[in-house]
């Protein structure tokens, strides 16, 4: 595909009704939350036919010379990686969102601006999400990890399982037990804003203005050299690095404002249910339908008390309004989450072969397959669909009530939760079979 053809396709995505007006990521910290907890949430809005899986990887140690194969490129492996749980498009190495054993949570968003999104294969923003989780035990360390990787390897490459050459830069919302950071990038350049209280959300637009707490050392000089900043007026990252015209991002701007409004509406009492309700909100566009849709969702509840566990909820299925948020808690002995793990094609995967994306294999995992059938019933049969939805809601509420015991009293016996996520998926299967 020629460079001109790729640029034309990118313009097509951004300027027509087919543009990917997604995603949305949220965080709320005390005093805006209940119970001295940090609440993190994200919808992953991706192509509607894409499968999102929920996977777990334990902590590991590596030798000094070991390498790591990411989606497109090989990089140096870290000496130690932390245990992670991820929600990711099944065709790639990285993740749209996830958490690690130290209760660091990260989600990313596609952003576009004056700096051209590179066609060359490098690290995807989704690779950077996983790398940040595997290598950082605090939110601010994750900012540093991502910054170092950007400087060394860059970001770029096709972000869809397709030959269209769809590329973008990335913004990240990163939280831990005490604070959150927004990190926005343009090529290797970046700015980061610290969030210590209240709430914050990001969408598909630059949002960091003059409050910049960390930044690439050459970011301002580069903008000045490009003629984007005169060097005298107050520096706003969004103002300088965004498009001259933001008309292409109107949908993202609307969702960003709606998301902020929904957080503000519940400020002081935001909890896991509040965040799930926001992610399920279709009127705002946050719960997306169409060519791009909400293919996976995540909500994390992280107590500020380090003796208490975080609870991380994942759907593993499209449309959070008709999906069950299933809990996960980090303990020793967790195995791979096979019911939300897609088939592996190894070196025969069309993503690994060049030219890439010559075909698209079936990546549906067991939960996706069963949910697909049930979603069709919900759409086509009103009475039966309502009954299924009620049973799904009951299962979710019961699990959330059970999780309160761990969030307030800790995990006394880890064996009670080692299969928590998988057992909940099996209970979801039972709901489907009884309906």
What are the catalytic residues? 23
Q: And the tokens for 113?
A: 């601006």
Map residue 56 onto helix, strand or coil. strand
Is 411 in contact with 417 (CB distance < 8 Å)? yes
The DSSP element (H or E) to which 157 belongs, if any, is none
Find how far residue 190's CA is from the centre of its chain.
19
Helix axes 382-409, 366-380, angle to 10 degrees: 130
**Which residues in 145-276 belong to E strands, given as ranges?**
169-175, 180-186, 189-195, 198-202, 214-215
* Longest CA pairwise span in the chain (Å): 67
* Calpha distance 131→327 (Å, rounded): 23
Q: What angle do CA 302, 307, 309 make, to 5 degrees?
A: 40
Map residue 214 onto helix, strand or coil. strand
Find how far residue 406's CA is from the centre of its chain.
25
What one-character-per-residue DSSP string does 57-116 give?
E--EE--TT-EEE-SS-EEEPPSEE--EEEEEETTSSS-SEEEETT--EEEEEEE--SSP
Beta strand 52-57 with 84-89 is antiparallel
* Calpha distance 370→117 (Å, rounded): 37
Distances (CA, A) of 434 to 15, 106, 125, 387: 45, 36, 41, 10
- List phi, psi (to 5°) of 3: -60, -40
Q: And the tokens for 402?
A: 């059970």
Is 389 in contact with 280 (CB distance < 8 Å)? no
* Calpha distance 299→314 (Å, rounded): 7
Residue 290 region by backbone torsions, left for phi larger than 0, else alpha for psi between -120 and 50, else beta:
left
Q: And the tokens for 161?
A: 């399982």
Instruction: Enter the DSSP assignment of 318.
Output: S
């Amino acid at each position: 595909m020629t460079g001109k053809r790729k640029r034309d396709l990118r313009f097509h995505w951004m300027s027509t009704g087919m543009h990917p007006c997604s995603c949305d990521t949220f965080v709320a910290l005390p005093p805006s939350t209940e119970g001295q907890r940090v609440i993190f949430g994200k919808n992953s809005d991706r192509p509607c036919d894409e499968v999102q899986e929920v996977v777990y990887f334990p902590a590991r140690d590596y030798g000094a010379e070991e390498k790591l194969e990411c989606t497109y490129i090989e990089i140096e492996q870290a000496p130690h990686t932390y245990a992670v749980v991820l929600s990711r498009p099944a065709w790639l190495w990285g993740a749209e969102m996830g958490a690690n054993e130290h209760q660091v949570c990260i989600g990313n968003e596609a952003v576009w601006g004056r700096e051209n999104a590179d066609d060359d294969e490098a690290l995807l923003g989704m690779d950077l999400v996983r790398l940040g989780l595997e290598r950082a035990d605090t939110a601010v360390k994750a900012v540093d990890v991502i910054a170092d990787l950007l400087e060394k390897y860059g970001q770029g490459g096709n972000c869809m399982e397709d030959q269209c050459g769809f590329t973008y830069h990335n913004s990240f919302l990163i939280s831990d037990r005490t604070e959150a950071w927004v990190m926005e990038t343009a090529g290797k350049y970046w700015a980061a804003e610290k969030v210590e209280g209240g709430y914050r959300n990001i969408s598909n637009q630059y949002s960091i203005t003059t409050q910049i707490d960390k930044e690439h050392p050459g970011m301002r000089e580069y903008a000045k050299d490009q003629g984007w900043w005169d060097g005298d007026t107050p520096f706003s990252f969004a103002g300088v690095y965004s498009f001259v015209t933001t008309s292409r991002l109107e949908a993202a701007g609307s969702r960003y404002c709606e998301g902020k409004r929904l957080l503000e509406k519940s400020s002081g009492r935001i909890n896991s249910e509040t965040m799930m309700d926001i992610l399920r909100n279709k009127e705002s566009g946050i719960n997306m339908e169409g060519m791009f849709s909400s293919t996976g969702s995540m909500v994390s509840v992280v107590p500020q008390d380090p003796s208490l566990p975080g609870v991380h909820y994942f759907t593993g299925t499209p449309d959070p309004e008709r999906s069950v948020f299933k809990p996960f808690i980090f303990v020793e002995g967790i195995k791979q989450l096979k019911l939300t793990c897609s088939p592996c094609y190894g070196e025969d995967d069309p993503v690994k072969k060049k030219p890439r994306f010559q075909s698209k294999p079936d990546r549906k995992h067991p939960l996706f397959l069963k949910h697909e059938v049930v979603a069709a019933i919900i759409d086509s049969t009103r009475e039966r669909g309502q009954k299924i939805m009620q049973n799904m809601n009951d299962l979710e509420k019961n699990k959330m009530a059970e999780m309160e015991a761990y969030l307030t009293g800790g995990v006394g016996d880890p064996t009670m939760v080692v299969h928590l996520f998988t057992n909940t998926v099996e209970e979801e299967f039972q709901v489907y079979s009884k309906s």
